[in-house]
Homo-oligomer: A and B are copies of this chain.
Amino acid sequence: MAIETPSPQQDAKDYDDLCEKLKEISTLNGISGLLGWDEMVMMPEGAADCRGQQKAILAGIIHDKATNPQLGELLQRLQTNGKTGDQIQSAVVREAKRDYVRNTAVPRKLAKRRAELETEGYTAWVKAREASDFSMFAPKLEEWVQLSRDIAKSIDPKRPAYDVLLDQYEKGMTMERLDQIFEQVEDGLVPLITKLREGTAPDTTVIAGEFDTAVQSQLCNDIVKQLGFELKRGRLDVSVHPFTGGSHPTDVRMTTRFKPDDLTEGLTGAIHETGHALYEQGRNLELDGLPINEALSMGMHESQSLLWERMVALSPAFSRFLLPRLQKAFPQLDKLTAETLWPAFNAIRKPSLIRVEADEAQYPMHIILRYKLEKGLINGSVKVADLPELWNQGMQDYLGCSPPNDAQGVLQDVHWSAGLFGYFPTYTLGAMYACQIYEAAKKAIPNLEDNISDGTFPPLRQWLNESIHQVGCLYPSSDELLLAATGKELEPEVFLEYLTSKFSKLYQV
């Protein structure tokens, strides 16, 4: 058969066919999202096995569609021939191709072992953590390391394995770039953390006490609606672990949780989820169901939750907004002022052995430690058996404290038990993106902080919507999206300056 030059009509038809296939996959993923939400929030406990079946069968159908050779041929033709110069179309084809390669590359045998190891790894980790004995988890971790290398190789044998893994969660990111970023963060933060230890910890007694969870919940619901969460296109419920899920930008479901003895956690948690939810509700419906309309990366999604949580809710301006609402809900707080609320709201509650309890300044060092260790595991420079010792040494060097046992050390996080190498860095990248995006928003929006004190959130929300949410993954990396949205690629010094200024004030050093 002679090779013919395809007509523009054929190109357009191929593109339409592609979009139809992609939208079908997206719709099925939406159904899967609903099954997941329902499982966490609504499902009766006796239905667990049946839900597992439903998810597995649906996942199989999605996998078949996502790896269908016809889809591959369409993509091949469009990549070879599609020279329309249309930026959106090019990005759709690029992202779809990327997904197709990742979905088809992993051999069935490795995919099967991965699925099994998720359960085996988790079970071993739970037992090891209970016994606080890393050696019980080590064999599964060994296997995860080897399997992850094999999977990375099957996806792209030309690139370093860790880069391929990282790219799953943080599109376009590499070790080279990340080493550069994290080195700068480490150099700035380690001395700051040491200095803060000599400062005065913020006074949290001003917001200590017992707070009715129903009243907390009502206050929170009012606030998240004011921030912009739309109940017409979403739901608010309660679940054990707060999360944001749902089935579509018109069906975003967010959950919260409240504790009677902690006013901060419920409120900041709800605002964190609101950041994720605003991203989801804000996606561009004109590109509905196309991969370009997905969030760019884990880090970029996290940037939206952290922007609302840290840059907005933990700011002095928000303390001024919050104070009268808090006092109306809880009259016992009548002595509180915005000036005493802000430090109390920002204070950490426990020493920084545990990542999820760390404050904004210490958190990145938890991440950098994990990054160095997992990169070493995949590259072969770190042995599984040496992890506990390296962990404890790292904690001492970075944070000046050493875990008393494995459970509070190397075994504290679930991620490695599921083979999630390359995931940890996205937390801190998200925090840095949030900081840089917020600085750009401050320049773009006159009086942004006054807006926040007044409870006028639409200008910020709208700016984020146009700069981030609607853009989806038009760009192939966070650096390029940041360049478009803030005028610069990621600049760690923005983050360092923010932390230094904020924490020096908070700890009076």
Taking the closest CB of chain B, its distance from the CB of A29, in whole angstroms, is: 10
Within 8 A of B (CB), among A40-63: 42-47, 49-51, 53-54, 57-58, 61
Cα(A93)–Cα(B53), bound, Å? 23
Taking the closest CB of chain B, its distance from the CB of A61, in whole angstroms, is: 6
User: Quick check: A232 and B45 within 8 Å, CB to CB?
Assistant: yes
User: Quick check: A251 and B50 within 8 Å, CB to CB?
Assistant: yes
User: Quick check: A44 and B232 within 8 Å, CB to CB?
Assistant: yes
| Pick from B45, B53, B248: contact of A27, CB under 8 Å | B53
Within 8 A of B (CB), among A275-322: none
A359 at the interface (CB under 8 A from B): no
Specify which chain B residues have a CB less than 8 angstroms from the CB of A445 in the assembled complex. Answer: none
Given contacts A47-B233, A248-B47, contact A54 B42 (CB under 8 A): no
A329 at the interface (CB under 8 A from B): no
Specify which chain B residues have a CB less than 8 angstroms from the CB of A57 in the assembled complex. Answer: 24, 27-28
Within 8 A of B (CB), among A6-40: 24, 27-28, 30-31, 34-35, 38
A247 at the interface (CB under 8 A from B): yes
A250 at the interface (CB under 8 A from B): yes
A235 at the interface (CB under 8 A from B): yes
Specify which chain B residues have a CB less than 8 angstroms from the CB of A248 in the assembled complex. Answer: 47, 50
A201 at the interface (CB under 8 A from B): no
Specify which chain B residues have a CB less than 8 angstroms from the CB of A251 in the assembled complex. Answer: 43-44, 46-47, 50-51
Which B residue sits closest to A235, measured CB to CB? B44
Cα(A57)–Cα(B44), bound, Å? 26
User: Quick check: A50 and B247 within 8 Å, CB to CB?
Assistant: yes
Specify which chain B residues have a CB less than 8 angstroms from the CB of A47 in the assembled complex. Answer: 233, 247-248, 250-251
Specify which chain B residues have a CB less than 8 angstroms from the CB of A28 in the assembled complex. Answer: 57-58
Within 8 A of B (CB), among A197-244: 230-235
Specify which chain B residues have a CB less than 8 angstroms from the CB of A230 in the assembled complex. Answer: 46
User: Quick check: A44 and B247 within 8 Å, CB to CB?
Assistant: no
User: Quick check: A54 and B38 within 8 Å, CB to CB?
Assistant: no
Specify which chain B residues have a CB less than 8 angstroms from the CB of A231 in the assembled complex. Answer: 44
Cα(A51)–Cα(B246), bound, Å? 12
User: Quick check: B46 and A232 within 8 Å, CB to CB?
Assistant: yes
User: Quick check: A42 and B42 within 8 Å, CB to CB?
Assistant: yes
Cα(A251)–Cα(B234), bound, Å? 23
Which B residue sits closest to A58, measured CB to CB? B31
Specify which chain B residues have a CB less than 8 angstroms from the CB of A44 in the assembled complex. Answer: 231-235, 250-251
Taking the closest CB of chain B, its distance from the CB of A127, in whole angstroms, is: 27
User: Quick check: B232 and A42 within 8 Å, CB to CB?
Assistant: no
User: Quick check: A38 and B49 within 8 Å, CB to CB?
Assistant: no
Cα(A233)–Cα(B42), bound, Å? 11
Cα(A120)–Cα(B274), bound, Å? 41
Specify which chain B residues have a CB less than 8 angstroms from the CB of A51 in the assembled complex. Answer: 247, 251
Specify which chain B residues have a CB less than 8 angstroms from the CB of A235 in the assembled complex. Answer: 42, 44
Specify which chain B residues have a CB less than 8 angstroms from the CB of A54 in the assembled complex. Answer: 27, 30-31, 34, 247
Interface residues of A (CB under 8 A from B): 24, 27-28, 30-31, 34-35, 38, 42-47, 49-51, 53-54, 57-58, 61, 230-235, 247-248, 250-251
10 closest residue pairs by CB, A with B: A47-B251, A46-B233, A50-B248, A46-B232, A47-B250, A46-B250, A27-B57, A50-B250, A31-B54, A27-B53
